[in-house]
Structure 1
Amino acid sequence: MDWLQVVVLSIVQGLTEFLPISSSAHLILVPVLTPWNDQGLAFDVALHIGSLAAVVLYFRHELVRMTVSWVGSLRGGGQDDDARLAWWVLLATVPVCLIGFTFRDAIEVGMRSPILIGVSLIGFGLVLGYADWRRRRGGRSEYQLGLKDVLLIGLAQALALIPGTSRSGITITAALLLGMSREGAARFSFLLSIPVIALAGGLEIVGLIRESHEVDWVAVTVGALLSGISAYLCIHYFLAFIKRVGMQPFVVYRLLLGGWLLWLFW
């Protein structure tokens, strides 16, 4: 791998993991627009580790409180808001895990069409636009969710297994439609990303252990650092941006990108 490839892939992963614009669509475009070969599984693992480290670092204070309260609830100490939020994050992760593990091979083989990605970008982008327009002001925070809300957001997250949907995009859309504020929807979506990225990264690590290829540790380390830095900045500025502007700029971007993919591959 050359250094330009390392930098581009790391920043693309760090940004698109959390913006509602679909990382799969962008990772499809990189080899289309460049002569680069596949970066390899070790580099993919490093990028996921960087993104995971970024979101854990950003929400470190919340995660400490949630973990302490959650452990306390297991010991019979009752549930406060932090313990309940921890349980909600775990519960909302179950649907995507069950569906992902059950249909993983079918998804990887049969749903990587750029045309499908383009349609998903446009279709789910329009739904995101409607949800954001409908929820322009106010709404509940992530601490005010109920069981029904969590189950519906968890089921929506499973739709992100369709390439082009965007995990953050579909969970934010569902949360907005359920009456959450923009910031609350985004924060809950980011918390949901922690177990999902950890599980996906774990599967990749298992695959990496089975491989016997050499690993470029310098490129892997730099990739993880760049992915982590770009992801952290993305989370920080995204939360500030949507509070003032909303989701519509991302909706327009999804429509343009989806239209371009359809024009390119139809």
Structure 2
Amino acid sequence: MGWLEAIVLGIVQGLTEFLPVSSSAHLRITSAFFFGNDAGAAFTAVTQLGTETAVLIYFFSDIWRLLRAWFVGLAKRDERGYDYKLAWYVILGSIPIGVIGLAFEDAIKGPARNLYLNGTVLILGALALAAAERYGRQRRGPDQLTLRDGLVMGGAQALALIPGVSRSGGTITAGLFLGLERSVAVRFSFLLALPAVFASGLTQIPDILDPTAADTQGGLVVFPSIPQMVVATIIAFVLGYASIAWLLRFVENHTIYVFVWYRVLLGLVVLLAVSNGVVAAT
């Protein structure tokens, strides 16, 4: 991987990770359209350590409160309040993506990165997001999350292993269909991502260090050097932190239809480009 590609992909990761547009699809598309290759699933997973560190810092007080409530609740049954339950919702909601990620690791690194599939999923995900925005009642506030919410949104998050689905897009869509307020769905989406994304990023570091062991996608895959990986992750962290604040303000006062139209347009561009031989699907 060249330095320009590493920097550009770090920027793309930071700007798109928390938007419901699929950062993994954007990394895949950017690599294919502008650099003629695929940066690979490992690159995506490791740069997400940067954006999730941004979540950890931005929501530090909330995360610390939940962790404290969880540990206290484990020791003292009579102090198991709402925060204790919410911590469990995050933990249990993180299980689906972990199980599916391990079970289908080879498919995620290979066939799931086909641009035909990614473009199609971008469009289908946009339609689901639009339906959730249109028909979701959005009446349930931040103190009304349930175990069902955690499990359903966790299941939706697992679908994001396919580039184009979008982790935040899937969880926000599920949250809106469950009747959560838009801002509540977004904030819980941030928390729900932490265990799974950190686990995924840390387990993919060996693939970056030993690319020959990770190359399951053919000759188009390129791998960054360690300095390039570090720089890309730092860039993703800085821009990711800024995008968290922006998105939270945005969803409090606007619908998310702008992301719907963007996804549809991008998906159509990808499908047309692949169909006409502008870029290879794999």
Say yes or no: TM over 0.5.
yes
Task: Give the equivalent residue in structure 1 for 2:247.
Answer: 238
Q: How do 1:60-99 residues align onto structure 2 when only pairs under 5 Å count?
A: 60-77=60-77, 78-99=79-100
CA–CA separation in structure 2 for the residues paired with 1:26 and 1:42: 14
Letter in 2 for 1:103: F
Quote the RMSD (CA, aligned, Å).
2.4
Q: How do 1:238-257 residues align onto structure 2 when only pairs under 5 Å count?
A: 238-257=247-266
Task: Give the equivalent residue in structure 1 for 2:141.
Answer: 141
Q: How do 1:161-240 residues align onto structure 2 when only pairs under 5 Å count?
A: 161-210=161-210, 216-240=225-249
CA–CA separation in structure 2 for the residues paired with 1:151 and 1:45: 22
Task: Give the equivalent residue in structure 1 for 2:104.
Answer: 103
Summarize deviations over 1:18-69 as a string: whole Å, max 9, x none: 1100122211222222236665888656522211210101110100100100
Distance change in 2, residues 1:155/1:258 (3 Å): same
TM-aligned CA deviation for residue 151 of structure 1: 1.8
Task: Give the equivalent residue in structure 2 for 1:265.
Answer: 274
TM-aligned CA deviation for residue 216 of structure 1: 4.5
> Does 2:32 correspond to 1:32?
yes
1:85–1:142 contact (8 Å) kept in structure 2: no
Distance change in 2, residues 1:115/1:218 (3 Å): closer
TM-aligned CA deviation for residue 143 of structure 1: 3.3
1:46–1:223 contact (8 Å) kept in structure 2: no
1:52–1:228 contact (8 Å) kept in structure 2: yes
Letter in 1 for 2:176: L
Summarize deviations over 1:77-122 as a string: whole Å, max 9, x none: 4322221111100010111111111122123222221111111111
CA–CA separation in structure 2 for the residues paired with 1:263 and 1:234: 30
SS of structure 2 residue aligned to 1:144:
coil
Q: Which runs of 4+ in 1 moved over 6 A?
A: 212-215
CA–CA separation in structure 2 for the residues paired with 1:52 and 1:80: 26
Percent of matched pairs sharing the same residue? 40
Summarize deviations over 1:228-266 as a string: whole Å, max 9, x none: 011111111011111111210000000000111111112
TM-score between the two structures when normalised by the length of structure 1: 0.90
1:25–1:164 contact (8 Å) kept in structure 2: yes
CA–CA separation in structure 2 for the residues paired with 1:156 and 1:46: 21
Distance change in 2, residues 1:58/1:71 (3 Å): same
CA–CA separation in structure 1 for the residues paired with 2:177 and 2:154: 14
2:17–2:240 contact (8 Å) kept in structure 1: yes
1:43–1:223 contact (8 Å) kept in structure 2: no
CA–CA separation in structure 1 for the residues paired with 2:233 and 2:35: 22
Q: How do 1:34-53 residues align onto structure 2 when only pairs under 5 Å count?
A: 34-35=34-35, 47-53=47-53
CA–CA separation in structure 1 for the residues paired with 2:92 and 2:203: 20
Consecutive unaligned residues of structure 1, counting only runs of 5 or more, are: none
Distance change in 2, residues 1:38/1:108 (3 Å): closer
SS of structure 2 residue aligned to 1:71:
helix
1:141–1:185 contact (8 Å) kept in structure 2: no
1:15–1:231 contact (8 Å) kept in structure 2: yes
1:85–1:143 contact (8 Å) kept in structure 2: no
Distance change in 2, residues 1:235/1:163 (3 Å): same
Consecutive unaligned residues of structure 2, counting only runs of 5 or more, are: 214-222, 276-282
Number of residue pairs matched?
A: 265
Letter in 1 for 2:231: V
1:10–1:227 contact (8 Å) kept in structure 2: yes
SS of structure 2 residue aligned to 1:255:
helix
TM-aligned CA deviation for residue 196 of structure 1: 1.5
Distance change in 2, residues 1:191/1:242 (3 Å): same
1:69–1:82 contact (8 Å) kept in structure 2: yes
